[in-house]
Amino acid sequence: MTKSPEQLEHELKRRSKAAKLEIWGRVVSFTALIIIAAVVVAIIGFVASKGLATFTTNHVNLWSFLSGKDWNPSITDAHGKPEVGALSMIVGSFLITILSALVATPFAIGTAVFMNEISPGKGAKILQPVTELLVGIPSVVYGFIGLSVIVPFTRATFGGSGFGILSGTCVLFVMILPTVTSMSADALRAVPRYYREASLALGATQWQTIYKVVLRAATPGLMTAVVFGMARAFGEALAVQMVVGNAALMPHSLVDPAATLTSVLTTGIGNTVMGSLQNNALWSLALVLLVMSLVFNLIIRLIGRKGRLQ
Amino acid sequence: MTKRRWLQSLLLMILVALGIFAYQTRQVSHAGGSITAVGSTALQPLVEAAGEQYAGDHLGTFINVQGGGTGTGLSQIQEGAVQIGNSDLFAAEQKGIRAKGLVDHRVAVVGITPIVNRKTGITQLTTKQLVAVFTGKVTNWKQVGGKDVPIVLINRAQGSGTRATFEQFGLAGHRSKTAQEQDSSGMVRQIVETTPGAISYVAFSYVTKGVQAVALNHVAPTEANVINNRWKIWSYEHLYTKGQPTGLTKDFIKYVQSPAIQKTLVRLLGYLSPSQMHVERDVHGQITKIGGQHS
């Protein structure tokens, strides 16, 4: 049976089932993308509008907000300006973040090296599930353990109340460890096999290979892992709030109570009224948090780009 | 292919069924009526318990009680987002609230006492000493007659009703120096119990054997002393409504203020009833004597 040219043309030009599916798939994934992007933009817009209200409607000086040391939004100082100095919280947040990253990094990289280089079979079999399990523990559980184990321990060892940056660091160290470990392991896995083979063929020992070749080649990836861990530590709220003491004071020692941006937010938000200065000041803290997480993201991207150029 | 069809239709059927179910339940609860009360966590247990009892007695009604803090309660009621705002403070005392238009219903009185760790050796202080402790003028318990232990201050969060009441009546209007802050009374009690030298303040119902309640100016923190205002650190617990309450809201508030609840649930949960009080206090802290009923 032969077909007329018109029929043939129609059949050839008609959209096939595969093409229809193709369009359908595109529409679905594009809508998902649009919705997610809209949500992100909406959140940033909302936090920014609320957070900037402190400076626009309440006329707080941005510099005095970032550099002031007194945080008492409900009272005004000698000049009639509200006491909204966030420096102590910003310092507290950074101190805890950097300290926990400093402590976690050697452990994480050590674990990753063991899993990938020294004992890939056994290491991966035992350590992989362990790190994944650590990721899955909710932060309130970490906080609770911190409260009932670490706080009494620091209290018994260093005196004071036991609440403070040291306790916060201990809790966060365990919390970010799995993130940094699994990302470091990915970074080591990405080092081409022939690097190791070449190094071993030149007569280097396994440790020399790891230290001088694998770790060097994986440096950008390892740095990304650490920054990711820091971003997580910076944003963690509940567990830190339970052990840090929530005192908006400049930290003088690691065992004195201190505050982080997140801990002040979680304790304060229920006791303020929408639209008041006290509430706006908390939103400004949230804005600082958001900006900082954007900065962390930028750093990660920068490191990634540098790594590719090498 | 047919299996997939079948799965798809099953999913659709479940969705439709859920939709119908949701619509139905909405109708039912709406017919009986439901109201929402939001705010103070100190008042939450009382409103929750009263709400459960009320719903048990009046079938088809539902009292939805949520925490969130005094600030949340007052701002939600001001916006008219809920029917009742629970508050530890007079609305006029909370910054950012226009108290006009909000109607106050006092449902309980709560006494607040300083508590210290048992190892401080402190059982009583004067107001002057208490102010010195909380403003940081003294830093060791031996300076106010206790043992040689450094003082550890523990505050409630800024804006907390308990803290506002304590600073106004316990510290004679002085502000506590910045120290560590906790956002719940239970947590404060636990920390004071375990930390040497710790001092804080909680509602009477949170005082247990593990901590030492402190007598002030030779007055013990007891309910009897609150009733005649010899113990000054107490506050009302308020249910706020926007305008005069109507319908279920009105009935429920009446129910909470009724002797049946005031004599049972309110006492059981460690509050005092406003009807027991021999004095009344207004928003400015002015005290007037009233003829309270003995009970």
Decide: residue B8, CB within 10 A, 0-12 exposed, 13-18 middle, 19+ buried.
Answer: exposed
Q: What is the mean pLDDT of chain A?
A: 88
Contact across the interface for A273 and B191, Cβ inside 8 Å: no
Find the mean pLDDT for residues A281-289: 92
pLDDT given for residue B32 in this prediction: 61
CATH no. for residue B89? 3.40.190.10
Domain contains A4: no
User: Which range marks the domain in which residue B254 is found?
Assistant: 34-108+233-289
Q: What is the DSSP string of B36-52?
A: EEEE-TTTHHHHHHHHH
Whether B65 maps to a domain, the answer reads yes
Are B124 and B182 found together in one domain? yes
The widest CA-to-CA distance across chain B, in whole angstroms, is: 85
In this predicted structure, what is the pLDDT of residue B198?
92
Using the beta-carbon criterion (under 8 Å), do B198 and A162 form an inter-chain contact?
Answer: no
Q: Which tokens belong to B212?
A: 């030492």
- B32 contacts B57 by C-beta, under 8 angstroms: no
Of B79, B157, B195, the CB nearest to A155: B195
Cβ-Cβ contacts under 8 Å, B152 against chain A: 160-161
Residue B83: closest CA among B245, B202, B276, B215: B245
Q: Which two tokens stand for residue B262?
A: 């005031």
Q: CA Rg, chain A, in Å?
A: 26
Question: What pLDDT was estimated at residue B75?
Answer: 86
Q: Tell me the residue range of the domain where A133 lies.
A: 87-309
Q: Which two tokens stand for residue B287?
A: 């005290």
Q: Does B193 touch chain A (CB under 8 A)?
A: no
> Does B179 reside within a domain?
yes
Distance between CA atoms of B191 and A156, rounded to whole angstroms? Answer: 14
Nearest to B72 among A75, A162, A270 (CB): A270
What mean pLDDT do residues A172-201 have? 92
Statement to judge: residues B86 and B165 lie in one domain: no
Tell me what ipTM this predicted complex has.
Answer: 0.73
Between residues B21 and A260, the one the model is more confident about: A260
Asked whether residue A209 carries a pLDDT value surpassing 60, the answer given is yes
**Segment 73-132 of chain B within 8 Å of chain A by CB:** 74-75, 78-79, 94-97
Residue A274 and residue A166 in one domain: yes
**Residue A79 CB-density burial (10 A; 0-12 exposed, 13-18 middle, 19+ buried):** exposed
Residues A206 and A92 in one domain: yes
Question: Are residues B223 and B241 both part of a single domain?
Answer: no
- What's the mean pLDDT in B23-39? 70
- Whole-angstrom Cα distance, residue B139 to residue B149? 9
Under an 8 A CB cutoff, do A161 and B70 touch?
no
Residue B235 has pLDDT above 80, yes or no: yes
Query: Is residue B274 located within the same domain as residue B260?
Result: yes
Chain A positions touching B198 (Cβ under 8 A) are 161
Structure-token pair, residue B89: 């403070």
For the ranges A74-88, A131-145, B65-79, B129-143, the lowest mean pLDDT is seen at A74-88
Rounded Cα distance, A238 and A176, in Å: 14
The domain tally of chain A equals 2
Question: Considering CB atoms only, which of B41, B158, B195 is closest to A268?
Answer: B158
Please report, as a single letter, which amino acid is at residue B200. Answer: S
Query: Which of A 105-164 lie inside 8 A of B, CB atoms?
Result: 152, 155, 160-163
CB < 8 Å to B41, chain A = 270
| pLDDT on residue B1 | 54
B102 lies in the same domain as B115: no
pLDDT of residue A68: 85
Please judge whether B157 and A74 are an interchain contact, meaning their C-beta atoms are less than 8 angstroms apart: no
How far, in Å, CA of B82 to CA of B60, rounded?
19
Chain A: residue whose CA lies nearest to B77: A273
Claim to verify: residue B274 and residue B169 sit in the same structural domain: no
Model confidence pLDDT, tens digit, residues B153-198: 999 888 788 898 999 999 988 889 888 888 888 889 988 998 889 9
Asked if residue A6 belongs to a domain, the reply is: no
B231 pLDDT higher than 80: yes
Of A161, A271, A277, the CB nearest to B71: A271
Confidence band of B31 (pLDDT split at 50, 70, 90): very low
**A1 located within any domain:** no
From B192, B211, B228, give the residue that closes a domain.
B228
Are residues A260 and A142 located together in one domain of the fold? Answer: yes
B135 touches A at CB < 8 Å: no
Closest CA to A263 of A278, A248, A284, A253: A248
Round to whole Å and give the CA distance between A243 and A229. 19
pLDDT of residue B85: 92
pLDDT (tens digit per residue) in B123-136: 999 999 999 999 99
Mean pLDDT computed over B223-236: 91
**Is there a domain that residue A2 lies in?**
no
Q: Which of B68, B78, B181 sits opposite A267 (nearest CB)?
A: B181
Structure tokens that stand for A18 in this block: 């595969």
Question: How many domains does the structure of chain B reveal?
Answer: 2
Report yes or no: B175 at the A interface, CB cutoff 8 Å: yes
Please check the confidence at residue B29 and state whether its pLDDT lies above 50. no
Specify the higher pLDDT residue, A18 or A169.
Answer: A169
Greatest Cα-to-Cα distance within chain A, rounded to the nearest angstrom: 99
pLDDT digits (tens, 9 = 90+) for A20-72: 899 999 999 999 999 999 999 999 999 999 999 888 888 888 888 888 888 88
Alpha helices in chain B, H assignment, sequence order: 2-32, 44-57, 70-79, 127-135, 161-165, 185-194, 223-227, 247-257, 259-263, 265-268
Using a CB–CB cutoff of 8 Å, tell me whether A75 touches chain B.
yes
Residue B153 distance to chain A (closest CA, Å):
9
pLDDT confidence tier of residue A187, bands split at 50, 70 and 90 = very high
Average pLDDT, chain B: 87
**Which among B71, B79, B180 has CB closest to A245?**
B180
Place of tokens 């409504």: B241
Residues B216-244, mean pLDDT to the nearest whole number? 92
Among A130-134, A185-189, B10-14, B230-234, the least confident range? A130-134
Q: What is the pTM of this model?
A: 0.79
The residue of chain B with its CA nearest to that of A159 is: B196
What does the pLDDT read at residue B30? 44
